[in-house]
Structure 1
Amino acid sequence: MLDAMRAATQNWFGRIIMTIVMSLLIAAFALWGIADIFRGFGANELVRIGSDTISVEAYREAYQNELQQLEQRARRAITNDEARKMGLDRDVLARLVSQAVLNQDGHRLGLALSDHALAEEIVQDPAFQDPDGKFNKQSFDARLQNAGLTEQRFVDEQRHSYLRRQIITALTDGLKPPKMMVDAIHRYYNETRTVDYMLLPRSAAGIVAPPSDAALKAYYDARKATYRTNEFRKLVVLPLTLQGLSERLGKTDPISTEQVKEHYEKIKAQRFVEPEKRQVEQIPFKTQAAAEAAETKLAGGESFDSLIKDLKLTPKDVNLGIVTKSGMIDPTIAAAAFSLPQGQVSKPVKGKFSWVILRVDKITPSVVTPFEKVELPLRQAMGILRAHQKISKLHDKIEDLRASGKSLTEVAKAMGMTARTVDAVDAEGYDKAGKPVSGVPDLQAVTKAAFASDVGVDNEPISTRDGGTIWFEVADVDPAHQQTFDEVRPTVTAAWIEDQQAKKVTDKADAIVKKLSSGAKIADLAAENHLDVKHNDAVKRSGGAGLTQSEVAQIFDEKVGDSASASDGSGGRMIFKVVDARVPPIDPKAKEFNKILADVKTNLGEDVVGQYLSRLERQLGIKLNQQALRTALGSQ
């Protein structure tokens, strides 16, 4: 259910529905979670829902898991303050509460899942299957270990999860969106409009006389905040990353083609050889005598397929699928199967568990990826590995030099490295020209740390995700300040002229729109203003050829037959008239329609689930231990 809740937020309609659902959950906390009723909690109780509780440890673990996933997606560290601003703490709590509510409801309804059925569900989970679709115990154990779960705890959690799914399925299965809703959404996405329009350029404003000093000063005073600079900092940065070190070593001590080829030969069998595969069929026999009797029938002219029928077997019973030699369980049978020519039948083979007769239906030869195709990525991988072996010692040498009092510039010189000087960068990573600063690894982390530091401070180095380190010094601080009128006079003058041009163009466009609305023909008005009339009969809310999104939005704000103007994004105005609007009939077979319908059904289901949860929460009652929540989040 939680995956569905996340997926539902990927479109605008889903976000509306999910806002309702989350509002219901948050409202529940507001109604039952804030008051002196929090007294009397156990030391480890965070939330009490009916007869169930959520412990501080369970909440903290769920919160940390969500935070780690968020950091992995963002590819950077995220502080608790940032996470709370995103609402992560509330989302995690809402999810745990909804799970606890549904667990109790499942118990009330008498829902149960047998051990056998649960085992089948787990075995069929694609996360625990190998490429052939079979359950892989090693993969299962590894995933549980990575998640910090014991097998028993995982099984218990899955049992609750499957029972919750039964409730959700019962609530949502068979839901159909109302026809009026489907029609409205279909109209929104597929309505097509026809417009006639003309473009009134900025040059139509004519020459704008320069402003007087008084007018310009008044314009500046009214917009002073616009002419305030950001704080900028000058930084000295010394990065030591695996990629950078690998590139540096590649120049001073390049890896030869012979070395790469030698490495290729060592790992070729494991990485660059696609093993031979065979489509194998196997008829099992309980005894050697039965296998030899079958061999006699085959020698007498009976076909392999007829033998399968005689033994009351089906093709599915004997088909081993497409297998590799190493992938077959029994080495003796594997050796026999991979020694047969295609289409041939084997003599009886004694396997570990039974006698068998084999047939090879198809052979896919082994394929070797040639050295030339993998030389470059192999060289790069060898370079990274070499850098990984050396980076720790280099890190320690740099730290020793810093401990001796040397600046980063001096450290870089002593190490044969280059320290990068960033003359000016703001907290967002831009220079004074408004361009992104380049050449600094993990710039976001560097600027964040630099703006929390100051000149002369011995800063803690920043660890990169690839195992590298970035050292930095704040060399200078240029505080944010208000630019004086004289400093920005040319910029203010240009802005004033641009505003005046825009006003003149807008006034002229309004006059033309007024004439259009009074019945004048767009062709006549275009000729009068030396403009060209353009026609577009395929404008949808998703866009229209040659039109900006703001122009499209304005077109759909008007009724058919109405006229208006919109900014063209370059200082001019687009003057248009909506000629027609068409909504095609719904095609139940259309891919786009079915996608929309699936989204609507999903979101309706989430809405029903949200309402059901809200009712259950009112019945069970929710009590929240605010002090425990603050402790869990490290707020106190």
Structure 2
Amino acid sequence: MAARSGTSRIFVWILLGLLIVGLAGFGATNLTGTVRTVGQVGDQDIAAEDYARALQNELNALTRQRGAAVTFQEAREAGVDQRVLARLILQAALDDEAARLGISVGDAVVARQLAEISAFQGPDGELDREAYRFALENAGLTEAEFEADLRAETTRGILQGAVRAATPAPEPYVETLTEFVGERRSFTWARLGPEALETPVPAPSDAELRAFYEENTDRFMRPETKRITYTWLTPEMIIDEVEVDEAALRDLYEDRAAQYRQPERRLVERLAYPDEAAARAARQAIEAGESSFEAEVEARDLSLSDVDLGDATRRDLGEAADPVFAAGTGAVVGPLPSSLGPALYRVNGRLVAQETTFEEAEPELRDELAADRARRVIANQAESFDDLLAGGATLEELADETDMRLGEIDWHSGMSEGIAAYEAFREAARAVTLDDFPEIEALDGGVFALRLDEVVPPAPAPFEEVAGRATLLWEERETRARLTDQAEEIATGLRAGRSFAGAGLEDATEVEGVTRDGFVEGLSRAALETVFEMERGDVRIVADGASVAILRLDAVAAPDPQAEDIADLRAQIAQQGAAGLADDLLEAYVRDVQSRAGVTLDQAAINAVHANFQ
């Protein structure tokens, strides 16, 4: 039953995937001619249509993942075609083995699987034949094809389940891993930082610094760089040339009257009651100090956010406006009328009337309208820019003949200055090749075009450019080396039985019972891993940036088999080990099936399928 349920879920997603991404795209890859199969495993054919459909599904999935169209060539470079073919070969091998063993499922099982697929169900939850036919028609499948696939997938599931079943992880494997992962260690550690040096590290000489640079050029590498020429035009570049008439400015000002003319307001909370008597009693209790507004709110199973009206105008408050506006900050007034019945109002603040005159708002409005019109001007010109490029104009000529501005950039991933601050440019720069021709592309209200002139491979940055960083790294290395020498003297005493305090490390930290995947504040991951490489009583020194850590292992404790967390860990390891073993067993079985049945591929047919995607 579990196998059947899993299969139905698989086919729901397969079907929905076909419906959502189309296999409208698959219609464009329909095969013609005599190409029927791309290969064979034993007596099972691998249909060309199945291969094409699987390729199309992968392309659609990659397109959704990237958010942009993926070409078939890009998919091939990523190995998609090989993965799809390998999957179909595996399925065919299992189908051939199932046929040899006489394993299959009957019509009743297939019918039950169909009825469980929600995409085919009517309002009553039963199989709707019309919905079934319509969905398959849109997916480019016949009922016979879909049901044959469903039967084959269910059969494969039964065969795989039989191979994977009853493969528990070996007990020694589980015990060994449980002891390894669950082991706890206690240790003492202290950090020596630059402040612990008896004398500070002197500045390096030029010769020392240059020698350090030459020895570590891999730490000063420039990334691969694309030398790009571009032209661009943004609204900000032409905004001063755009004319905005005063009538349009005044119309926009009036449209935003509520923003620029704000009446006097109050920050108010309102607590409504079922009748005036209840409201009056609450008000009297508050005035007598027997209650508070907060307590009254809580007594009605409300929170302050439930009764908060925010900033309210006289119009918002209606008949309650005059008393509320006359009250001081913190006052509770009422009972007063409200849309919810008699209510108490608490005034939390006074906001005076504010008015921004047209003259005060004009610069802001002018910038907004000018930017909007500049964007429209650029949008109207974009086609003419593209026509010039299509006619053979270079980017340099485009900049000479239009308002577009010419620029150059040595671009690499991680840049975010200038035009590289725009994601659209960065995407185009990542994708451009030496064979591409410039074309106009959108740029956040503007446009740009680019041309790749040269790809500069990774290379060390000049010494003069990285001298400052080289100095910092040299000082860090020298500091760490001197601290290590100092720490070795301390470690010698610790190994001889001296305490951390006796070695002058009063701030040493004792850590109790940490596991391999634990966390110790202030200690690097590399230092914690070192703790689990040590023997009891060992003392180690671990570098950490410009500091060093001195570690002493005090105790090693095996995991407690009775502890709940260890029992859970053991169960998890057993489960994961069994799953891994089952996967390996199934992989070996499939390889054996393929070897016995024989795999034949028709490269000409495969190429014919690929040709439909070009």
Note whether the superposition's TM-score is higher than 0.5: yes
1:52-451 paired onto structure 2 within 5 Å: 52-78=44-70, 83=75, 86-125=78-117, 144=136, 147-205=139-197, 206-230=199-223, 231=225, 233=227, 235=230, 398-404=382-388, 424=409, 426-431=411-416, 439-442=421-424, 445-450=427-432
Question: 1:366-392: per-residue Cα shift (whole Å, max 9, x none)?
Answer: xxxxxxxxxxxxxxxxxxxxxxxxx99
1:280 maps to: none
1:145/1:537 CA distance change after superposition, 3 Å = farther
CA distance in 2, matches of 1:183, 1:619: 37
Q: Which secondary structure state, in structure 1, belongs to the residue aligned with residue 502 of structure 2?
A: helix
Q: Distance in 2 between matches of 1:212 and 1:96?
A: 66
TM-fit CA distance, 1:102: 0.6
Cα distance in 2 between the residues matched to 1:578 and 1:555: 7
Q: Give the distance between the partners of 2:607 and 2:556, measured in 1 at CA.
A: 56
CA contact (8 A) 1:236 1:474 kept: no
Q: In 1, are the aligned partners of 2:396 and 2:406 still within 8 Å (CA)?
A: no
Partners in 2 of 1:531 and 1:591 — Cα distance? 39
Aligned AA (1:48): Q
CA distance in 1, matches of 2:413, 2:101: 54
2:554 pairs with 1:579: yes
Work out the CA distance in 1 between the residues paired with 2:125 and 2:530: 52
Q: What corresponds to 2:576 in structure 1?
A: 599
1:163-209 alpha-carbon deviations (Å, 9 max, x no partner):
00111121223332222222233334433322211111134354222
Q: Give 1:617 deviation, angstroms.
A: 1.6
Name the CA shift for 1:426/1:133 in 2 (closer, same or farther; >3 Å).
Answer: farther
CA gap of 1:401–1:566, structure 2 versus 1, over 3 A, is same
Whole-angstrom distance in 1 between the partners of 2:212 and 2:598 = 59
Shift of 1:446: 1.9
Worse overlay, 137-146 or 101-110: 137-146
In the other structure, the counterpart of 2:484 is 506
- Determine helix, strand or coil for the equivalent of 1:523: coil
Deviates more, 1:585-594 or 1:500-509: 585-594
| 2: CA distance, partners of 1:420 / 1:549 | 50
Alignment partner of 2:95: what SS?
A: helix
What is the Cα deviation at residue 514 of structure 1?
4.3
C-alpha change, 1:531 and 1:588, in structure 2 (3 Å) is closer
Partner of 2:528: 552
The 2-side partners of 1:253 and 1:125 are apart by: 55
Aligned in 2, Cα 1:179/1:133: closer, same or farther, shift over 3 Å? farther
**1:424-471 deviation digits (Å, cap 9, x = unpaired):** 56332425xxx89875235653222345578xx52364899xxx9975
Task: Give the SS at the match of 2:413.
Answer: coil
* Structure with bigger RCO (C-alpha 8 Å, 6+ apart): 1
Q: Which amino acid aligns with 2:468?
A: P
The 3 A distance-change label for structure 1 pair 602 and 76 is farther
Deviation at 1:118, TM superposition (A): 0.5
Q: Is the 8 A contact 2:424 2:442 kept in 1?
A: no
Which residue in the other structure is 1:7 paired with? none
Residue 485 (str. 1) matches residue 463 (str. 2) = yes
What is the RMSD of the two structures over their aligned residues, measured on CA atoms?
A: 4.8
**Greater C-alpha radius of gyration:** 2
Q: Tell me the secondary structure at the aligned position of residue 458 of structure 1.
A: coil
How far the C-alpha of 1:576 sits from its partner, in A, is: 1.1
Residue 552 of structure 2: SS of its match in structure 1? strand
How far 1:161 sits from its partner (Å)? 0.3
Contact 1:47 1:625 in 2 (8 A): yes
Q: Classify 1:142/1:429 alpha carbon distance in 2 versus 1 (closer, same or farther; 3 Å).
A: farther
Q: Distance in 1 between matches of 2:428 and 2:161?
A: 48
Give the Å deviation of 1:80. 5.3
Is contact 2:433-2:452 (8 Å) kept? no
TM-score (norm 1): 0.57
The equivalent position to 1:49 in structure 2, one of 32, 37, 41, is 41
Tell me the percent identity. 24
What CA deviation, in whole Å up to 9, does each residue of 1:483-542 have, x standing for no partner? 4333433333332222222222233334444443444433323x1xx4521022242222
Q: Distance in 1 between matches of 2:475 and 2:461?
A: 20
Task: Indicate conservation of the 8 Å contact 1:194/1:537, yes or no.
Answer: yes
- 2-side partners of 1:558 and 1:130: how far apart? 66
Change (3 A) 1:566 1:470: farther
Give, in whole Å, the separation in 2 of the partners of 1:519 and 1:535: 16
Instruction: Give, in angstroms, the shift of residue 229 of structure 1.
Output: 2.9
**CA shift at 1:109, angstroms?**
1.3
The residue identity in structure 1 corresponding to 2:411 is D
What is the rounded CA distance, in whole Å, between the counterparts of 2:154 and 2:201 in structure 1?
72
Q: Which residue of 1 aligns with 2:518?
A: 543
Does residue 1:458 correspond to 2:420, yes or no?
A: no
Deviations 1:274-313 (A, max 9, x none): xxxxxxxxxxxxxxxxxxxxxxxxxxxxxxxxxxxxxxxx
Distance, in Å, in 2 between the alignment partners of 1:137 and 1:397 is 54
Residue 338 of structure 1 is matched in structure 2 by none
Residue by residue, what CA displacement relative to the aligned partner does 1:211-261 show, whole Å, maximum 9, x if unpaired?
Answer: 333333222223335434342556556799xxxxxxxxxx9989x99xxxx
Structure 2, gaps ≥5 residues long: 7-33, 236-248, 257-374
Structure 1 residue ranges without an equivalent (≥5) = 5-41, 241-250, 258-390
**Cα distance in 1 for residues equivalent to 2:152 and 2:542:** 56
1:562 aligned onto 2:538:
yes
For the 8 Å contact 2:226–2:455, the answer to whether it is kept is yes
Query: In structure 1, what residue type is equivalent to 2:438?
Result: D
Shift of 1:564: 1.8
Question: Aligned partners of 1:610, 1:236: CA distance in 2, in Å?
Answer: 55
One-letter amino acid matched to 1:449: A
Q: Is the 8 A contact 2:415 2:421 kept in 1?
A: no
2: CA distance, partners of 1:239 / 1:79: 31
Match of 1:98, SS state, is helix
Query: How far apart are residue 120 of structure 1 and its match?
Result: 0.4
**Is the 2:382–2:440 contact (alpha carbons within 8 Å) kept by the matching residues of 1?**
no
CA distance in 1, matches of 2:413, 2:512: 43
Query: CA offset at residue 588 of structure 1?
Result: 7.5
Change in CA separation of 1:482 and 1:581 when aligned onto 2, cut-off 3 Å: closer
Question: Does 2:474 align with 1:496?
Answer: yes
The amino acid across from 1:607 in the alignment is D
**Contact kept in structure 1, 2:188 and 2:554, CA below 8 Å:** yes
Contact 1:562 1:578 in 2 (8 A): yes
Q: Residues 407 and 90 of structure 1: is their aligned pair in 2 closer, same or farther, counting only changes over 3 Å?
A: closer
Task: Indicate how the Cα distance of structure 1 residues 403 and 600 shifts in structure 2: closer, same or farther if over 3 A, else same.
Answer: same
Matches of 1:615 and 1:392, distance apart in 2: 66
SS in 1 for 2:104: coil
For 2:99, the aligned partner's letter is H
Alpha-carbon spacing, 1:487–1:158, altered in 2? closer, same or farther (3 Å): same
* 1:458 counterpart letter in structure 2: P
1:101 Cα deviation after fit: 0.8
